[in-house]
A and B are shown apart, each in its own frame.
Chain A
């Protein structure tokens, strides 16, 4: 475990996040905090929680962006949740001097061992995505665990054996599964929707994928005449002609 697992994990558990649906409600972020506050990385300490500069440990955060296309003038608002992407080539693991940061061989989940972490913060410098969370109070690094203490948990009903952020998302914008298996549902969804990597140029090969917003009906709009525009049945400006037609309308 000094470095990344020698045998690249075949199973790549991760999340697929649908930016076409995410309404930016923060439910995933808060339920994540709630589950994990008492979970593997407990607590998720909050500093100055009722004061001037509240800040705490969160494994998942929601940003909101606008993307404005200069040429077409098309503009979109996109809510953007982000947690650890459980990268295949996770730099946060290789920089760690203690081995506290590691990637599980079984399923590719990247975790921190709070018993051996020295709190040097280097992993947080190495992660491009801001997915490492330093707990000032405990002096150790924490991060999204992919709810490792949930997804295999035999004490939970099966419907709960998925990451908290996934089960709680009211819009259904989050999916969880094995992205190493091309026949898995999540892999198929990624293929169908053209799922993307964040900052591929960083070479981290993230497992989590993002489904870009769809332009489903927007292109139709440019063509204001689609669908078939309505034809007016009468052109008298006050509708007198129409009313006359309707006098004889037989309805029962």
Chain B
């Protein structure tokens, strides 16, 4: 699949945003953090910037962004529609939760804060889940057509959110910082595990479709393409025919693992062990930044390595 910048940015950024919301809501539920307005501004601000930025980015690849509102109508059947709806609805609990954090003394907000926290967690996870399901539901892209895709999206969202949470709490010098660093570490480890499993599955995946089944000619022998319908690339090939060299992919996987997981593990581990808060901040900041690069590379690969069965009509033999 063609790795479109907008979609890569959208999924990583909004994933991190929703992850951050989940952890903020957790903190609120468990009273882990003081309800400080400036922190709320920054933390929720960051989350919203990531979410809204991501959503906006995702509309860039639409042919008609001005009609994006129509995308909610088909929630009965379409995961994309569900995602859109959830994304919009999630702003209600998330927004109220943010307001509560800004004005904890507001009685009404206080009363519903618990529900809003739960609501935020559920809606954020649901949105990420729906996003993941858009990909996981596509039979045409066997690499994605798996629970691993969903688990991966959820874990990576929580992981990137936790890392942000750890950094922010550390910046503010909250007590919870340590806990969130440990949570972040755990999720990075989980994330690494999930990703390795995802790749292991890719490597061992059974063939779903072949040029033979695509043409109905399997009984006649091995099917190879002699001529494409067009001698230059068409939309289908540009969108779905993206090819990445095996060597290139291997290198990028290493980069993704190194930046996205190993470095954050090291940095988080160090930060947990160290006492010096400014050093911790530097370490966590570096972790977030490098991890971000790693995650973008991971997401780029998620698309680039996924083959679409339509390529069976364009020279691919089995997928």
Contact = CB atoms under 8 A, between A and B. Distances in A.
Interface residues of B, number: 60
Contacts of A65: 211, 215, 217, 223-226
Main secondary structure of the interface of B (DSSP, over half): mixed
11 contacts: A55-B232, A58-B230, A65-B215, A125-B138, A125-B141, A126-B138, A127-B140, A130-B313, A136-B63, A139-B63, A212-B220
Contacts of A122: 78, 80, 134
Contacts of B252: none
Contacts of A29: 229
Nearest to B207: A201
A232 interface: no
Interface stretch (A35-43, A67-75, A146-154, A243-251): A67-75
Given A65-B224, A67-B223, A213-B220, A97 B235 contact: no
Contacts of A78: 215, 217, 220
A46 to B, nearest CB: 11
A235 to B, nearest CB: 42
B76 interface: yes
Contacts of A56: 234
Interface of B: 1, 61-65, 67-68, 70-74, 76-81, 84, 134, 137-141, 208-209, 211-217, 219-230, 232-236, 238-240, 308-310, 313-314
B71 to A, nearest CB: 4
B63 A66 contact: no
Contact of A97 (B84, B212, B310): B84
A55 B235 CA distance: 7
Given A65-B217, A67-B217, A98-B67, A128 B235 contact: no
Contacts of A74: 220-221
Given A69-B220, A136-B235, A61 B70 contact: no
A85 to B, nearest CB: 11
Nearest to B72: A97
Best-surrounded residue of B137, B219, B221 (most CB of chain A within 10 A)? B221
Given A120-B80, A122-B134, A130 B240 contact: yes
A80 B225 CA distance: 10
B71 A120 contact: yes
Interface string A52-66: 011111100111111
A53 B232 contact: yes
A98 B71 contact: yes
B70 A116 contact: yes
Contacts of B68: 118
A77 interface: yes
Given A64-B225, A91-B140, A134 B235 contact: yes
B80 A95 contact: yes
Given A196-B216, A202-B139, 13 more contacts: A53-B232, A58-B234, A65-B215, A65-B223, A66-B224, A67-B221, A70-B222, A100-B70, A120-B63, A121-B61, A128-B139, A198-B213, A202-B309
